[in-house]
Chain A
Amino acid sequence: MDVLAFSLAVFSASLLAGFLGALTGLGGGVIVTPVLTLLLNVDIHYAMGASLVSVIATSSGAAAAYVKEGFANVRVGMFLEIATTLGAVAGAHLTALVPGSGLAILFGAVLLYSAWHSLNAPPDHPDGPTDPLAARLRLNGSYPGPGGTVQYHVQRVKAGFSLMFSAGVLSGLLGIGSGAMKVIAMDQFMRIPFKVSTTTSNFMIGVTAAASAGIYLSHGYIEPGLAMPVMLGVLTGSLAGARLLAGAHIKALRLVFAGVIGLLAIEMIYNGIRGGMQ
């Protein structure tokens, strides 16, 4: 396969990954890496580098819309980015120590969990009393609800902050946005409304990924010839997916996609274990 055919194949696969990533809410980055490694035989380090770049593109592209709508909480995002960026730097440095097979196994496990989690969006919880720390940091906010502005109070700031550090480590270690874990930290731990959690998470993903990007560059994970079709493909695919998402009822479709992604995850774990034994 020459460069032209290969780039076209990578672009098409990335387009599909971005599309599925937007539809399932998993993000394109976490799907494009298994596709590149399993189907196109790309080394996991190059795949992670290209995926990280595409994560910055889709996050910034989507966040541009969400921030304008007034859902994302910029203060919550900025405060928690201390934890995610520090975690990302630690995770990105760790990639040099963990063998490729270990990365593949961990990646598969995270992917499997994310696919399962994407099917179980938890119900919204009632607003409760605020954490004094949240009041001091002015984290409490409001968002435009169907019947006017809805106020919310942020709880368990320290627990959420710690979990965000772990989300950052995973992001740096695997070249993903780790949006699922960010949402769990905000929604389940800090009791921030689901819609605010997902949009703020999207807003934070770009900054978290940028914190890994410098280290990825210095390790040589970001290969321009590969990152080019991946970034353009995932970005285009996710924009198309987000547009479709706004209109359609896709619950059954999501179930099918989550199943496919689960199979990819299992194959990745299997290959990692086999590779690690060689």
Chain B
Amino acid sequence: MTDSRLDQIIGNLLRVGVVTAAAVVAWGGARYLLRTGQTRPDYHAFHPEVRGLHSLGVLPLPQAIIMIGLLILIATPVARVVFSLVAFAMERDRAYVVITLIVLVVLLYSLGTSWL
């Protein structure tokens, strides 16, 4: 695979990820506003109730949908790195396979902390 072909696919991957994430967030957002439009929001003081990914189970459905959209968004650059890893492996570019693996491990470590 040529580098410019690779660039094209990465470009499309990023675009699809962002559009999907925005659509899911907007869908959840519409449901959230319809259901909770009358209550008062409070973001003035920091009291984290939504911590980590297991919060998906306790969040009301509209907020959970928004969160899933946000997770798709966060997963988009990660998917880009995974895709680059495969492409470098196919080119048998050993140095860049290692470089990309290091980046991927750091990303997975960060996402792993959100499961705790």
Q: Which residues of A contact B (CB under 8 A)?
A: 1-4, 6-7, 40-46, 53, 56-57, 59-61, 63-65, 67-68, 70, 72, 74-75, 78-79, 81-82, 85-86, 88-89, 92, 100, 136-138, 206-207, 209-215, 217-229, 231-232, 235
Contacts and interface: CB of A to CB of B under 8 A. Distances in A.
Nearest to B13: A64
Interface residues of B, number: 65
B76 A222 contact: no
Q: Which of A53, A231, A235 has the most CB of B within 10 A?
A: A231
Nearest to B48: A220
A111 B106 CA distance: 27
Contacts of B110: 85, 88-89, 92, 210-215
Given A137-B95, A207-B107, A224-B67, 5 more contacts: A74-B10, A82-B102, A89-B109, A210-B110, A214-B107
Contacts of B57: none
A46 B46 contact: yes
Contacts, number: 205
Contact of B29 (A44, A86, A211, A228): A228
Given A223-B50, A228-B25, A56 B7 contact: no
A61 B81 CA distance: 16
B44 A235 contact: no
B29 A214 contact: no
